[in-house]
Structures are given as C-alpha cells and as structure tokens.
Structure 1
Amino acid sequence: HKGQELVMADIPGLIAGAAEGVGIGDRFLGHIERCRVLLHLVDASLPGPVEQWRVVREELAAYGGGLENKPEILALSKVDLVTPQALAAKKRALEKASGQHIYTVSAATKQGVEPVLDKLMEIAGRAQAMKVESDKSWSPI
C-alpha cells in the first residue's frame, strides 16, 4: 500500500467459547499474538453489530496474552449490502459501545478500503518503531 508492505493474517470468525477450545478459534487466537494491530471487521449485513464485536472482544480477553490490549481498528464491512439509514444506525451503536472511530468498508465496491489501509500502515509502523527501539536496549552481555 503506497509503496509499503504489510503482512496480514485473516482470522476466521471467532465464536463464543473459542478461548476455551470451542471450534477452532483457540488455535487461531495464538496467531494473533504475533500481530501488531487488529483489524476487526464487523459484518454490517447482519443484525447486532455490537454483540458481534463484544463476542470477539470477550474471546480476546479470555484467551489472554495481552490480545485485548493490541491496537484495534474497527470497521463495519459489507456496507454495500445495507441501506444508508441502517448503516448509520449500526455505526452509531458500535461507536457508542466501543468508544472508537468506526470505519465503513466494502470489499465488493472497494468503498472505504483506502482509509483503513492508511490507518493500518500508520499503526503497524508505530508498533514496528516501538519494537525496534525496545530491541535496541537489550544486550546479551
């Protein structure tokens, strides 16, 4: 994106109980530990975006390992499948529940993808800079 590389991992939908081994979620949660930033996509075409978001946040916290403290970009996806009025209501509800800015994206139309990629690159770059800085202070001697 804009001359920079970013490695992304797609973590399949987590279900309630994933942190305790329900489904295959606990195996995938381990992969998230290596991620610098989380892009949390909430399906706007489904009812209950706040509940969708909360289930995943609860599983991240239950798993441990600091996953719930990782930087998170929160976006409503599949926005091309909902009316503008429904999207606005879902966005307001998710903003209120999460206290975060909510991006809106559509993979089908590419709507909103650029701002999300920009934010991912910004946060991942800051996280990399912090990691490099912390690595400099370590010495085996």
Structure 2
Amino acid sequence: MTEGNFVDYVKMHVFSGKGGKGSAHLHREKYIAKGGPDGGDGGRGGHVIIKGNENLWTLYHLKFKRHVKAEHGENGGKQRSSGAQGADEYVEVPLGTVIRDTETNEILKEITEHGEEFIVAEGGMGGKGNWHFKSSTNQTPRYAQPGIDGQQIDVTLELKILADVGLVGFPNAGKSTLLSVVTAAKPKIADYEFTTLKPNLGIVKYRDFKTFVIADIPGIIEGAAEGKGLGHRFLRHIERNSTLLFLIPADAKNIKEQYNILLDELRRYNPELVDKDRLIAISKSDLLDDELKAELASELDRELKLPYLFISSVAQSGLQELKDKLWQMLNKKPV
C-alpha cells in the first residue's frame, strides 16, 4: 500500500431511512358493503450501520464518500399488508476505527472485532395502519399514522492502527529505513524531516514462520501532544501498540535527552502510553567504532533504566537481535 492510499481520517454525513406511512384503507368486497378498516403498517426505514472488516487496513475506500443514505420504508397496503422495510446501508471499516459525533466530539463506538456492527443512525419507525385504531366507538377510522423521519448525523471516523510494535522517534531517525529492511514494506525514504507523513505498516518475518506487525509512525517533535507538527494525527496510532520501540540515532547530541522528550510527549498525550513495554534502539550505529560504542554503552548503562540495542539498518547489524528481543517482549508470560 502506498503512503498516498493510507487514509486514517474521514468525515461523512449519514441519513437513515424514513418510516413508511400506515394505510387508511377500508376493506371492500362483493356483498360486503362496509368491511371495516384493513390498512397495513408502514415499513421501518433503513439503518446506517458501521461494520468491522479485518481485511481492510485503511479508510481510503471512504475518502470520497461524503454522504451515506439508507432506503426509506414503504407505505402500508390493504388487507393489513405491511410495507417493506428500507434496506440498511452498511459502511465497512478496518478494525481499530473510532466513531465520533463530529459536532460534540463524543466517542460513539470503537470497532475492534471482525463483523462487529454499530447502528450509527436508526431508521424511522413505520406508521400504524388504521386497523389499529378501530374500537367499539370508532369502527371506521379513516386515518393512519405517518412514518417517523430518519436520523441525520455528522460522524468522524478515525483509524487507530492495530500493530504489535510502534516505532517512535524524531523525524529522520531512520524509522522508515529500518521498516524497509526488516519487512517487505516500501516506505518513502529521504534525507530530510517528515519524509513519512502517514503511518506505514510492515510484517516482520520471524523464526519458524512466525510474524508480527510493526508500524512506522511519523516523527515526533516537541509540542506534538499540543498538536504541533503532525501532533494528534499520529499520536493516536501509538495507543494500539503493545510495545514501543524508541529509535534514536547514534549521532544524536544527547540520547537520554531525546528519549526523555519523546517519553514526555507520549505522557502528555495519554499517560497510559508510558505503561507499555519499551525498548530503545540506537540506530546508525555503523557511524561508531568499537571504542565509541563501548564508551556510549557505558554512559547508557549509567543513565538509562531500559534495555537498549545498537543497530544499523544500512549495515544490517543487530537486526536479528532486535527481532529476538521484540518477539520476547511481545510473547512474555503475564505475571
């Protein structure tokens, strides 16, 4: 999937169907002058239903679908025949999609399972036919109920990526390069900041035909939690990852400081993010000779209380060790 085809944010206006009118028909038959009321009920209007589909990875198919409308219910007929219900309109979304009321920003539902359905706009009820209103004092009612109008609502669909590992780092830290080396993904790679504007997913092939999913998320800048840079646009994707891989280049001025800034941005956006398992990978380690690497390792041992690894995507060193460590973290037994 190319970056341009990844859509994680869509707004749409949905209309459910109006209920059909009840019939005010009076029964007529040969030799029966006054057969009484026999008007049927109107059919229910169609719902607008959002449904989870595990085979979808993006909201791209909804990019140009600004309006969704369900069918109206049909009117009731004679001989108490009810009108047909309006057909429901289904909107399929990938797992991890959050449905919000655009006006209030309230979260209506989060779709996390295949086949899970949520009625975002209910169809209007059909009106009752005149036979419902027959009584001993009103044996020939010539009226019936109209159908109830359908609902209209503006909704926003936001996708939170369902990946095992989320790559966290400043722009140009080497996240896209790492993803292209350890998976079959082909993200855009260039030597300038914000090359990646949308998340990229890749499947890492591990030993004995095992796999796990890793997401390269656009780089963090200071103030991202307040919406600076790409801000909330990417931070919501990290919420779904069970393990966070912090990627910091070996040529950074202060590795501990960069890590603390990244962690602080996550904490300010959602304090629960700091409870996830974390691993630090020092990228571009091919720039270091053995002496510098030993010196840096000694410094990190003193200052950091997290596991770390030296890797180089270009030289392809330390990558198997990185896969082993991530697999161990993803499959550790609960305490």
User: What TM-score do you get using the length of structure 1 for normalisation?
Assistant: 0.82
Partners of 1:94 and 1:24 lie apart in 2 by 30
Show the counterpart of 2:167.
Answer: none
Q: Deviations over 1:96-139 (max 9, x none)?
A: 3321222110001111111111111122223xx76xxxxxxxxx
Offset of residue 82 of structure 1? 2.2
Show the counterpart of 1:10.
Answer: 216
Letter in 1 for 2:292: A
Partners of 2:218 and 2:300 lie apart in 1 by 21
Relative to total residues, which structure has the larger strand share, 1 or 2?
Answer: 2
SS of residue paired to 1:59: helix
CA contact (8 A) 2:278 2:306 kept: no
Show the counterpart of 1:122.
Answer: 328
Q: Runs of 5+ in structure 1 lacking a partner?
A: 131-141
Which aligned runs of 4 or more in structure 1 are off by greater than 3 angstroms?
none
Query: Which residue, out of 29, 35, 38, partners 2:244?
Result: 38
CA contact (8 A) 1:41 1:77 kept: yes
Query: Which residue, out of 221, 224, 232, partners 1:26?
Result: 232
1:67 and 2:67 matched = no
CA contact (8 A) 1:91 1:102 kept: no
Offset of residue 55 of structure 1? 0.9
Aligned residue-pair number: 128
Query: Which residue, out of 42, 47, 57, partners 2:253?
Result: 47
Q: Deviations over 1:5-56 (max 9, x none)?
A: 1111012321111111010032211100110101111110222111111110
Letter in 2 for 1:63: Y
SS of residue paired to 1:107: coil
Partners of 1:122 and 1:91 lie apart in 2 by 22
Partners of 2:232 and 2:302 lie apart in 1 by 29
Relative to total residues, which structure has the larger helix share, 1 or 2?
Answer: 1
Q: Percent identity?
A: 34
1:110 and 2:310 matched = no
Greater CA deviation, 46-55 or 29-38?
A: 46-55
CA RMSD of aligned residues (A): 1.7
SS of residue paired to 2:256: helix
SS of residue paired to 1:88: helix
Structure with higher Rg: it is: 2
